[in-house]
Structure 1
Amino acid sequence: MKSKTNNAAKFMEKLARKSLEVAAESRCMYIYHQPKMPTDLKKFKK
């Protein structure tokens, strides 16, 4: 059971990191401006 929990946690971590990466590379599609990006988010850019 612990293995399933560990796999789920790894999957969720990868999903969260990829979401951060995509958010760091894009702008808001509903508002046509780029809000000020937090400095911690800049380290996730490619």
Structure 2
Amino acid sequence: MDDALLKAMVRFWVPIYKCFTFNEVDMVPSIKEYSTFLHYDFRDPLRIY
């Protein structure tokens, strides 16, 4: 995993709203984007993410 990416994700994450905030713009990644960021395959249909 990319440490710089992980640090940036933690820095901009707003836990109250469960999204990322960049200059007052909210962004919520999709499961596919999380899969790319974290290098993890989220295709298990029986698992709740």
> TM-score by structure 1 length?
0.30
> Higher helix share goes to which structure?
1
* Structure ranking higher on relative contact order (CA contacts 8 Å, 6+ apart): 1
- Using structure 2 for the length normalisation, give the TM-score: 0.29
Specify the structure having the higher radius of gyration (Cα): 1
Structure whose residues are more often strand by fraction: 2
